[in-house]
Amino acid sequence: MDSISVTELRNNLPRYIRKVKEGGEVKISSRGKIVARLLPSKEDSREIHDQLALLRKKCRIGDVISPVGEQWEVVASDHP
């Protein structure tokens, strides 16, 4: 993400906090120079890391390009 000014952060703090909660990073600039970064807390990062570790135990990465010998049915969706 590009940097935002202190004024922009002050005027839209809830929006930027939400971005950070979703795992994003916000760089804050003052007079064109980056002076700070908002990052997710270590606890949030640890929780996400733990969730990924659990998924690794359940999932197997393999060859998903080769046929599996099963017929698949395509279902049209209204979603883009």
* Residue 23 backbone zone (phi > 0: left; psi -120 to 50: alpha; other: beta): left
Q: How far is 28 from 17, CA to CA, in rounded Å?
A: 13
Q: What is the pLDDT of residues 16-73, one digit of tens each?
A: 999 988 888 999 999 989 999 998 877 767 778 888 888 888 776 665 566 667 777 7
Q: What is the pLDDT of residues 12-27, one digit of tens each?
A: 999 999 998 888 899 9
33 strand-pairing partners: 30
Element (DSSP H or E) covering residue 28? strand 26-30
Q: What is the pTM of this model?
A: 0.52
Does some domain include residue 77?
Answer: no
Domain count, the chain: 1
Does some domain include residue 31?
Answer: yes
Does some domain include residue 68?
Answer: no
Does some domain include residue 63?
Answer: no
Does some domain include residue 52?
Answer: yes
Pull the structure tokens for residue 45: 């990062």
